Structure 1
């Protein structure tokens, strides 16, 4: 079974660094990344890096807290909360791992909290 913690720590590191090498280390060459569950996926590591950098957050801008919902041999489902200075999101991530512990498919659900 692949423990998700090292991968998620790497994801948060890449999120804060926006370093292409940090991003690349997370994904297999042919990985697929769904930024929303029913959107066109980013296909392949190069497109993932390009799309990520095109939508990057400022380093240290967000805080991410998470816990596992389900962990199997090659899939982890993670529930998280992302807090920015002016908004908060609930997240659900489905991470499908390759045998080497890198992600081969990532799907993200996110919903902004209503602050009424």
Structure 2
């Protein structure tokens, strides 16, 4: 069930993994056969081995970002989250996440859309 508390715990875990890049933190987010898409039409990273390798190949440095989020839609099977990511020395991104949580609170599927906000005129 994708209740608010389960979703908030998952996102807190995602931020913890984002900041630590620790394999245990990353793998704790996903079921063993989860699919992670970095864009809606991209081929997914499938399973723990591929998710971990791809995550670490694109890892941000700890403390590099701030992050705020809000739930747009949530039901028993899926949550849609809108977020803003701000890089300390770089751009701001708007994010849209679709998260399917398994009964144990890990994601079985995760898809993200991220768009850089236009610069000031």
Match of 1:51 among 25, 50, 54: 54
Aligned counterparts of 1:73 and 1:60: Cα–Cα separation in 2 = 33
Q: Which of 70, 80, 83 is equivalent to 2:73? A: 70
User: Secondary structure in 2 aligned to 1:68?
Assistant: strand
TM-score for the superposition, normalised by structure 2: 0.93
Aligned to 2:38: 35
Q: Aligned pair 1:98/2:102, yes or no? A: yes
Corresponding residue for 1:112?
116
Q: CA RMSD in A?
A: 0.8
Q: Would you say how many aligned residue pairs link Structure 1 and Structure 2? A: 116
TM-score, length-scaled by structure 1: 0.97
In the alignment, the residues of structure 1 paired with residue 12 and residue 43 of structure 2 have an alpha-carbon distance, to the nearest angstrom, of: 26
Unaligned runs of 5+ residues in structure 1 are: none
In 2: Cα distance, 1:46 partner to 1:74 partner: 25
